[in-house]
């Protein structure tokens, strides 16, 4: 049986904020662009930041690295906190929504959700599931699928067709228990990137983003988006 496919979500912070707000997240936190990686530009990002999304090109170099990393980490077991919420990606082009779920689910204590909202219900119903069970549950969640589809049509660029191959991919970075995690639904497990804190989280996540960029120095198709608390 073919995997279901969704339209890809654009790396547009306004579209993302509207998407999660439509699903029931209260807009006390907002997605915003990270315009550069030097300290001056990072200082412009509103704080605190609770999640970082990276959009990057899936190249041959990246796929080779991903395979090596997976084999290495299967031998050298990582210590992953049981508090990390991780969902596998089984839906084509759904990496944007998977990234948003990773960002929100791992910060649900800081974020506010409308009672009985689609997002609150999804996170509660999947909280005790395995990453694979969550993926199957998402495939059947009509509220999230319909909101994803309408959000995918709202970007500044025309949405590609369902069958068009998209070689850009979203992942999320979060801080769980003082550890920086990379969450990618195409990988078999979360990747631990060492210690972090609320104060240094953005800078720590950006350091990992720089490694992605250095792996493909000819590429320019990188976008970083931060989930920040709105200043009053």
169 in catalytic set: yes
To the nearest 10°, the Cα dihedral for 162, 163, 166, 170?
40
CA atoms of 48 and 231, how far apart (whole Å):
9
**Percentage with pLDDT > 90 across the chain:** 84
Domains and CATH numbers, the chain: 13-229 (3.40.532.10)
Q: Please check the confidence at residue 208 and state whether its pLDDT lies above 60.
A: yes
Condensed to tens digits (0 to 9), the pLDDT of residues 20-37 reads: 999 999 999 999 999 999
Q: Which of 22, 148, 169, 209 is catalytic?
A: 169
Q: Which residues 6+ apart lie within 8 Å of 102 measured at CB?
A: 51, 85, 86, 87, 171, 172, 174, 183, 185
- 105: Cβ contacts below 8 Å, ≥ 6 apart: 85, 87, 123
**Strands laid side by side in the 49-57 sheet:** 29-33, 223-229, 49-57, 168-176, 179-183, 191-195
pLDDT value at 65 more than 70: yes
Task: Please name the residues in contact with 198: beta carbons below 8 A apart, sequence gap of 6 or more.
Answer: 48, 175
Name the burial class of residue 119, with classes exposed (0-12), middle (13-18) and buried (19+) by CB atoms within 10 angstroms of its CB.
buried
pTM check: above 0.85:
yes
Q: Calculate the average pLDDT of the chain.
A: 93
Is 50 designated active site? no
Percent of the chain with pLDDT strictly greater than 70: 94
Q: What is residue 162's predicted lDDT score, i.e. its pLDDT?
A: 46
154-175 burial by CB neighbour count: b if 16+ within 10 A, else e? ebeeebeeeeeeeebbbbbbbb
Q: For 113-168, how does the pLDDT look when each residue is reduced to its tens digit (9 = 90+)?
A: 999 999 999 999 999 999 999 999 999 999 999 999 888 887 655 545 445 455 89
Per annotation, catalytic residue among 95, 102, 148, 209: 95
Coil, strand or helix at 228: strand
pLDDT at 188: 96
**What CA–CA distances, in Å, run from 110 to 28, 152, 228?**
10, 27, 11
């Amino acid at each position: 049986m073919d995997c279901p496919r969704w339209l890809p979500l654009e790396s547009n912070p306004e579209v993302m904020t509207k998407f999660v707000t439509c699903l029931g997240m209260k807009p006390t936190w907002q997605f915003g662009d990270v315009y550069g990686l030097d300290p001056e530009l990072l200082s412009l990002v509103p704080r605190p930041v609770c999640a970082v999304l990276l959009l990057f090109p899936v190249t041959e170099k990246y796929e080779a690295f991903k395979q090596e990393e997976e084999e290495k980490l299967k031998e050298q077991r990582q210590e992953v906190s049981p508090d990390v919420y991780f969902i596998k990606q089984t839906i084509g082009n759904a990496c944007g929504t998977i990234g948003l779920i990773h960002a929100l689910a791992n910060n649900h204590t800081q974020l506010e959700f409308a009672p009985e909202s689609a997002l609150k219900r999804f996170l509660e119903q999947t909280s005790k599931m395995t990453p694979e069970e969550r993926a199957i549950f998402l495939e059947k969640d009509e509220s999230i699928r319909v909101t994803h589809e309408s959000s995918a049509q709202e970007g500044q660029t025309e949405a590609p067709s369902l069958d068009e191959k998209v070689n850009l991919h979203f992942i999320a970075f979060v801080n769980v228990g003082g550890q920086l995690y990379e969450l990618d639904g195409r990988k078999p497990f979360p990747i631990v990137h060492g210690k972090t804190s609320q104060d240094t989280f953005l800078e720590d996540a950006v350091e990992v983003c720089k490694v992605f960029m250095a792996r493909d120095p000819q590429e320019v198709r990188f976008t970083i988006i931060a989930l920040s608390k709105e200043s009053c």
